[in-house]
Structure 1
Amino acid sequence: MSDNSAPQRPTAIQYLRYCYGRPLPPELRDWVRNDLAGPGATIRMIVRAVVPTTLILAPFWLFPTDFMTRLSMTFPIWFMVILFAHALNKVWRTHMLRMHGLDPELASAQKRQRDAHIHRSYVERYGPRPESADQRSDDI
């Protein structure tokens, strides 16, 4: 007798392919939704970029040279990977949500919930925005 209440997880091969842009089967949609829009999604995406970069840069630390030379060979690359991973995080998560047939607005749902009190106080103070106002996708 199998336990169907446990959430399904991708296999190791499926997970590696998913990390680098391949879609998962439709039965794993709940896992994908939590992975891309749940708590910690931003950190998970940055770690997925940093781990392979660290593995590639690690051999440079084996060169027989001083600490500052090793640091100057690896840190700029590593730092830029973190910077770009953070900058493109929402774009990548939105793309992956679309690829899996999920609502791309889920990528910013936590931010909208976190900032909802700001928007409510704006409405209380100035009234609702007019219908003729340009509505952006990040507006609540």
Structure 2
Amino acid sequence: MTERTSPTFRQRIGYICGATLPAAMSDWVRNDLIGPGAVRRYLMRFLIPVIPVLCLFLLIPGPKWMGVAMMALLYLPLIYFTLALMYVYRRHRLIKHGLDPTLAESGVNQQRAEAERQAYEHRHGRA
């Protein structure tokens, strides 16, 4: 019997909630944290689940703009801190799964370096 290289539904839910996956799934974890679409997945995991809870503010009696304003008062800082702590979160998850924490940094630096290289080539007519 071969070991799974991707998590089951139950393992994914546990992983999203902070559980550690088996070592056989480290490639999947690495791809999830620093692969293509990692930022989108990270933001979705933190920002979407809070929306139903924030919608409870719409049930408060009064004008609807008041409920929306209260939601925004909580949601906007959540977006800011979620973005600000993305590197810290990735690094923590990599360490927790026994992977090299510098991978979190290298993914960001590689993307930045690639964008700078493309901008340079475009500015100087090499693209």
TM-score range, shorter chain: 0.7 to 0.9
- Structure exhibiting the larger radius of gyration computed from Cα positions: 1
Residue pair 2:57, 2:68 contacting (<8 A) in 1 also = no
Report the alpha carbon displacement of residue 60 of structure 1 after superposing the two structures with TM: 1.9
Equivalence for 2:105:
108
Report the alpha carbon displacement of residue 17 of structure 1 after superposing the two structures with TM: 1.7
Aligned-pair identity (%): 38
Equivalence for 2:63:
66
Equivalence for 1:43:
40
Give the structure-1-normalised TM-score.
0.71
Task: Find the aligned partners of 1:105 and 1:52 in 2 and give their Cα distance.
Answer: 29
Task: Find the aligned partners of 2:52 and 2:8 in 1 and give their Cα distance.
Answer: 22
Q: State the one-letter code of the partner of 2:66.
A: T
* 3-state DSSP of counterpart to 1:73: helix
The counterpart of 1:34, out of the listed 25, 31, 36, is 31
Q: State the one-letter code of the partner of 2:100.
A: D
Structure showing the higher helix proportion among its residues: 2
- Large movers: runs of 4+ above 6 Å: none
Give the structure-2-normalised TM-score.
0.77
Equivalence for 2:51:
54
- What CA RMSD, in Å, does the superposition of the two structures yield over aligned residues? 2.3
Equivalence for 2:12:
15
Report the alpha carbon displacement of residue 67 of structure 1 after superposing the two structures with TM: 2.5
Report the alpha carbon displacement of residue 64 of structure 1 after superposing the two structures with TM: 4.0
Task: Find the aligned partners of 1:11 and 1:60 in 2 and give their Cα distance.
Answer: 35
